[in-house]
Amino acid sequence: MRTGLEGKTALVTGASRGIGKATALALAAEGANVVVSSRKQDALDAVAAEIRAACPDVGVLARAAHVGDADQAAACVDAAVAEFGRLDVLVNNAGTSPYFGPLADIDAAAAAKTVQVNQYAVVEWTQLAWHRSMREHGGAVINIASVGGMVTEHGIGYYNATKAAVIHLTRQFAVELAPRVRVNAIAPGLVKTALARALWEENEEAIAEALPLGRLGEPEDIAHAAVFLAGSAASWLTGQTLVVDGGSIVRPAIA
The three-state DSSP-derived secondary structure of the chain is CCCCCCCCEEEEECCCCHHHHHHHHHHHHCCCEEEEECCCHHHHHHHHHHHHHHCCCCCEEECCCCCCCHHHHHHHHHHHHHHHCCCCEEEECCCCCCCCCCHHHCCHHHHHHHHHHHHHHHHHHHHHHHHHHHHHHCEEEEEECCHHHHCCCCCCHHHHHHHHHHHHHHHHHHHHCCCCEEEEEEEECCECCCCCHHHHCCCHHHHHHCCCCCCCECHHHHHHHHHHHHCHHHCCCCCCEEEECCCHHHCCCCC
Residue 3: phi, psi to the nearest 5?
-100, -20
> Which among 126, 222, 132 has a CA at the least distance from the CA of 182?
126
Is 158 tagged catalytic?
no
Dihedral sign of CA atoms 95, 99, 101, 105 in order: negative
Paired sense of beta strands 33-37 and 9-13, if any: parallel
Q: Of 99, 120, 158, 159, which is the active-site residue?
A: 159
User: How many CB atoms within 10 Å of residue 106?
Assistant: 16
| Catalytic machinery residues | 159
